[in-house]
Amino acid sequence: MRFSIARGTALVAVAATLVGLSACSPPAKENEAAASDAAKATSAAALGGIDKLVEAAKKEGALNVIALPPDWANYGEIIKAFTAKYGITVNSAQPDASSQDEINAAKQLKGQGGAPDVFDLGSSVALANTATFAPYKVTTWDDIPAALKDAGGTWVNDYGGYMSIGYDSSKVPAPTSIADLLGPAYKGKVALNGDPTQAGAAFNGVVAAALGNGGSAGDIAKGVDFFGQLKKSGNFLPVDPTPTTIESGQTPVVFDWDYLNVAQGAKLKGKVEWKTVVPANAVLGSYYVQAVNADAPHPAAARLWQEFLYSDEGQNLWLEGGARPVRADAMTAAGTLDKALFDALPPVTGSPVFLTEDQTKSANEYLAANWAKAIG
């Protein structure tokens, strides 16, 4: 599950107007041709440049996004900024959805006006569904490290952080390691952000648990075993955490990304003593994945959205939300990164681990076969 300050479950429907075609309607035919060109475009240059892309996107007038809570990595402000800049309406569906829900929606709504135009996915789900994506290389493509993108542009990492433990210090002692969570002080208090077979944050929570218990990026069995032990000891809390459950005290310990736990602490300052720790023996970093839906109903807007996200403005907006933008190194060298925001990110000690594509695939397969048995 996405973990946000404001969550909703209502699907925001996309209004679709059917335009009748006839021999006397050249504007409709022109729009249809432009959409066809945009759907095939693998770069802005392929459409004649960024100005032509903007023109085509404005004609479409809308963009469908899914699973983007307003307070997840500052997406609320990012969406507002995109609309203010281009005058394009952003229809946001199912902000509390998981990565797998995004793919399911694309398949179920294929050919319909309400289908998602773009995806923001956990890596495990993204790598299992690349056939759903349309390749596209943004203008700032060369600034993105080769290890953080598909060479053909099918998918691109966007923003990231480190898996952390958020906790209410007024209710539980400060954990110094993941193993500490097996202690009696955490009975009925430890929550995981979603189902690890479907949600990126939960997937990485299990991998971090593996690292913290002697496992490795290539073998996450000890992470699954750890949550099995949490369940048997009564410490595992099978509740998806939300801002409401944290504020009420229902979920006093949460595995989630550091930028989300830190944002939660800032939001609840004066109400809940919410603190964040990245255990030194389990420093797991990960980036989320951006991709364009191959069947996007607004193909030009989908590509313009990517251009905006990977611009200096878009990258700094993610940074404002506490997430580490993928172009950080290049922007630092160019002097365009907001240094004050970057320096304020949570400190991390220890050796960071980033899963390879093969390790992600292996971990996903192991979870699919063993997670339900471990916590059943």
Backbone angles phi, psi at 275, to 5 degrees: -120, 165
Q: What pLDDT, on the 0 to 100 scale, is given for residue 7?
A: 27
CA–CA dist 68, 99 (Å, integer): 10
CA–CA dist 128, 120 (Å, integer): 14
Q: What pLDDT, on the 0 to 100 scale, is given for residue 181?
A: 98
Q: What pLDDT, on the 0 to 100 scale, is given for residue 32?
A: 61
Q: What pLDDT, on the 0 to 100 scale, is given for residue 333?
A: 97
Handedness of CA 182, 183, 189, 193 (dihedral sign): negative
Element containing residue 81 per DSSP (H, E)? helix 75-86
CA–CA dist 186, 182 (Å, integer): 7
**3-class SS shares of the chain: helix, strand, coil, % to 5:** 45, 15, 40
CB 158 within 8 A of CB 286: no
CA–CA dist 95, 93 (Å, integer): 6
Q: What pLDDT, on the 0 to 100 scale, is given for residue 218?
A: 96
Contacts of 323 by beta carbon, 8 Å cutoff, 6+ apart: 73, 74, 159, 160, 161, 257, 259
Residue 282 in 3-state DSSP?
A: coil
| 348-376 core/surface letters (b: 16 or more CB in 10 A; e: else) | eeeeebbbeeebbebbbebbeebbeebbe
357 to 123, 130, 205, 218, 251: CA distances (angstroms): 8, 12, 17, 11, 32
Residue 169 in 3-state DSSP?
A: coil
Q: What pLDDT, on the 0 to 100 scale, is given for residue 31?
A: 54
pTM score of the predicted model: 0.78
- Per-residue pLDDT of the chain in tens (376 residues, 90 and over written 9): 443 322 232 222 222 222 232 333 334 444 565 567 999 999 999 999 999 999 999 999 999 999 999 989 999 999 999 999 999 999 999 998 999 999 999 999 999 999 999 999 998 899 999 999 999 999 999 999 998 999 999 999 999 999 999 999 999 999 999 999 999 999 999 999 999 999 889 999 999 999 999 999 999 999 999 999 999 999 999 999 998 999 999 999 999 999 889 888 988 999 999 999 999 889 999 999 999 999 999 999 999 999 999 999 999 999 999 899 999 999 999 999 999 999 988 778 888 999 988 999 999 999 999 999 999 8
Number of Cβ atoms within 10 Å of the Cβ of 33: 10
Q: What is the dihedral of CA 317, 127, 217, 345, to 10 degrees?
A: 0
Beta strands in the chain (DSSP E): 62-66, 89-93, 118-121, 133-134, 156-168, 190-192, 253-257, 274-277, 284-293, 324-325, 353-354
List the alpha helices (DSSP H) in 113-165.
Answer: 123-127
Nearest Cα residue to 181 out of 198, 196, 164: 164
